[in-house]
Amino acid sequence: MPEGKHDYNLQTFFPLFSSYIYNLITDEEAVRDTTKSVLTDFLNDGVCYLELRTTPRTTPQLSAKQYISTLLDVISSFESQNPQLHTRLILAVDRRHTPEQAASTLELALTYREQGVVGLDLCGDPTARPAGEISIFTPVFLEAKKKGLGITVHFAEAEASGSKEELNTLLSWEPGRLGHVIWEDEETKKEIVKRGLCLELCLSCNVRAGMVLGGFEGHHFGHWRGVNGPKISLSTDDVGVFGSPLSNEYRLVAEHFGLDRQAICELARQPIDGIFGGEREKERLRDIMWTP
């Protein structure tokens, strides 16, 4: 998005995809070009390990299977030319999907796990399927967990998706990571600490979309940074919409929370144990992140 056009909120963010973005990326060439552009941006930003998320979808030119296969082919080709960046794929279930669509997404994830799919996500408009309705996806996510896929979920992203009933349901899926984590109650906070979950925190998204109060200084990064147990993974959601690459997210926490270089390095190491890419990838990242 052009500078000055990053002021989307929860009401205007999701229509961007259904009304515009999805209609622009419908054939194989568009998928390839877009994916390569995204990977190039992360590479140039200094990222060495990336987990991209996408919702499998059918277009007039591509089946959902062809769409995922094309993504993975671009990722593999890009990594062979740029071995410093390793990329894995997480397939996302949209809250607006049916159980049958969710099951199809899981089937694709299992089909392509040897080619780089490492996990399953729950995403989408947080006002869809409020309260306990999200439980319709429980069988799919429990099966994904059973089959060894990583589980991450958009968690307490908005007041509508922050009910105790919903949060208990999401935690029953035994996710390894939680995204956003804005509207949870105190008891849920204690459970997050007890489990030592990895928290995907997205400052620019939350502040620019008006999801949190108090600007960057009031972001709940400040709370979780001082809590022992959970790990923080600074994340981008979504670079193209909110205009903030990962390096800028680190700049923001340094600026607004007074982190020095040592603190930034320690923060950058925290997500390693929470990645879904396997033990060999974790060791590679430890070698990189602990090298002077």
Which of 285, 264, 261 is CA-nearest to residue 273?
285
Residue 51's CB is within 10 A of a number of other CB atoms, namely 24
The question of whether 157 is a catalytic residue gets the answer yes
Residue 63 neighbours by CB under 8 Å, 6+ apart: none
Residue 244's CB is within 10 A of a number of other CB atoms, namely 21
Residue 90's CB is within 10 A of a number of other CB atoms, namely 21
User: Do the Cβ atoms of 95 and 124 come closer than 8 Å?
Assistant: yes
- The count of residues in the chain is 292
> One of 107, 133, 143, 157 is an active-site residue; which one?
157
Which of 114, 105, 42, 45 is CA-nearest to residue 79?
42
Which of 143, 89, 139, 145 is CA-nearest to residue 118?
89
Distance from C-alpha of 175 to C-alpha of 159, rounded to nearest angstrom: 20
Residues designated as active site: 157
